[in-house]
Amino acid sequence: MFKSIFGKYLTAFTVILVCCISAVLLAVSSRIAVDSYNVQKNTMENSAGNISIVVEGYLKDNGYGSIYQAFGNRSELQRLLDYTASSSSSQIYVFDDEGFLVATTDRDYKHGQFALTRSATNILFTTDESFAISNIDGFFESNQFNSYTVSRVDGKAFAVLASMRNYSSVVFTKEIIIAAITVALWVFLAAMISLYVISRRTTKPLSDIVTAAKSYSKGRFKQKIEVVGQDEVAELATAINDMAESLNRIDEERNAFLGNVSHDLRTPMTTIAGFVDGILDGTIPPEKHEYYLNIISQEVRRLSRLVNTLLEVTRLESGTELKPTDFNFSETARTVLISLESKISKKNIDIAFDTGDDDIFVNADHDSIHRVIFNLMDNAVKFTPESGKISINISLISDGKKKKKAFFSIRNTGEGIPKEELPHVFDRFYKTDRSRGLDKSGTGLGLYIAKTMIMNHGEELTVDSVQGEYTEFVFTLPLSDKEIPHRHTVKE
């Protein structure tokens, strides 16, 4: 039980509630006992005082000796004695100056048959010592709660004593304590129910998260955690769901990556092995050896390009640090375009190259940007039909924050990319069936590399296409902070 958060919460709050309720009950019961004691004491003092006043008046009118006949069974004084005793929840005793019991409401004691000890009588009539809680020197069998008043008439004294056996007011206090305990138990029950509901709402998502995490550790990322509410636990569940979705996507991309790599490696290797076996076993005649050896050489170079590209992808994904420098962005684009001149002339492609009146300088990793521009231009040339057109624009644009950036766009005419395939253009090894027919030597990693390089610069590479009309790629770069007085030409 104590191993779970729910068990710890429940135990801790139960202990706290029990301690708090016990402390409250102790304080309440103690206060009630004190207050009831004081109330009863005052009541008994008033009762004894009132009886004393009445008896004193009677004796003044009838003489002290009449005290022994004043409390007959049906006398007014006896009825007053009984009424006062009943209203004060106590017993009333009247003693003469010799300590003899003259009258009482206590049926266990009869007047004339009981008396106080000499010591108690002396204390009662000659000192201020209190018998508040006492058996009055053996007059009572056990301690009682007492209050008395001494009065004098004709030089003689008499005492009126109000006494209560239940001197701690147990009956009155017990009723209040029982009510307080009942209320406390209901409060405790309500608190435990609330605690249980709140704790379960808190710990159940955590339990679901643990279950999901165990599933993720086994490579099963499709399990989702139910998100309830908007608190921190809900935010954690949402974050883990997003993480699982990302892991699942990465896992699917990894599987697709391995499948594509296996396919692209197996095809040329199968070709090479087939031609080599044909040469060795004589299936391919000697006069054809040179032709097939050239094919083998091309396939080996294709394998080499694929391996080098894979190494570059690995380098990019490992977070290779950029080396930004200030260079002439316009001149770099010109240089790349010139390097593709033979391919462009072969297909009789019309080039529209617009860089404005002034060259634009940027601050970026020169080698990475050169590679991006080359990939985009090379793709445009590959997929532009005979006598088609490629438009390249380099200019300045505002990013909406009064800050300008270098803008690069390249658009080529042609069949374009189907709308449903646009979101996958930058995926690793992405090739549409159409591109496989037009570009059998490609690896499907060029655009992925280009996008990753631009993203590493904190910018974005986007694509737009209308099928049957054009395809356009666009990206931006941060401008150089300082003006470079001369052009930087890339050496090929």
- Concatenating the DSSP letter of every residue in 165-206 gives SSTT-HHHHHHHHHHHHHHHHHHHHHHHHHHHHHHHHHHHHH
* Helical ranges in 281-365 per DSSP H: 289-317, 329-339, 341-346
Q: Give, for all 492 residues of the chain, the pLDDT tens digit.
A: 445 666 666 777 777 777 777 777 777 777 776 777 777 788 888 888 888 888 888 888 888 888 888 887 668 888 888 888 888 888 899 999 888 998 888 888 887 778 888 888 888 888 766 678 888 888 888 888 888 889 988 888 999 989 888 765 544 556 666 777 777 788 878 877 877 777 776 677 777 778 888 887 777 777 777 777 676 777 777 888 888 877 777 777 677 666 666 766 777 788 888 888 888 888 888 888 888 888 888 888 877 777 776 666 666 666 667 788 999 999 999 999 998 998 899 999 999 998 877 889 999 989 889 989 998 999 899 999 999 999 999 998 886 666 788 999 999 998 888 888 888 788 766 665 444 444 545 556 778 888 888 888 888 999 999 888 899 999 999 998 765 444 443 333
Sequence letter at residue 332:
T
Reading phi first (left if > 0) and then psi (alpha if -120 to 50, else beta), residue 137 is in left
147: three-class secondary structure by DSSP: strand
Cα–Cα distance measured from residue 456 to residue 315, given in angstroms and rounded to the nearest whole number: 12
- Are 237 and 203 contacting, i.e. CB atoms less than 8 angstroms apart? no
Ramachandran angles phi, psi of 95, nearest 5°: -120, 145
Q: Which residues pair with 84 in a beta bridge?
A: none
121: three-class secondary structure by DSSP: helix
Which tens digit of pLDDT belongs to each residue from 242-254? 888 777 777 776 7
In this structure, the number of other CB atoms found within 10 A of the CB of residue 489 comes to 12
The CA dihedral of 60, 65, 70, 73, to the nearest 10 degrees, is 180
Which tens digit of pLDDT belongs to each residue from 272-318? 888 888 888 888 888 888 888 888 888 888 777 777 766 666 666 66
Burial of 191 (0-12, 13-18, 19+ CB in 10 A): middle
Count of CA atoms in the C-beta half-sphere (13 A) of 264: 26
Residue with tokens 């006062």: 84
Cα–Cα distance measured from residue 423 to residue 339, given in angstroms and rounded to the nearest whole number: 30
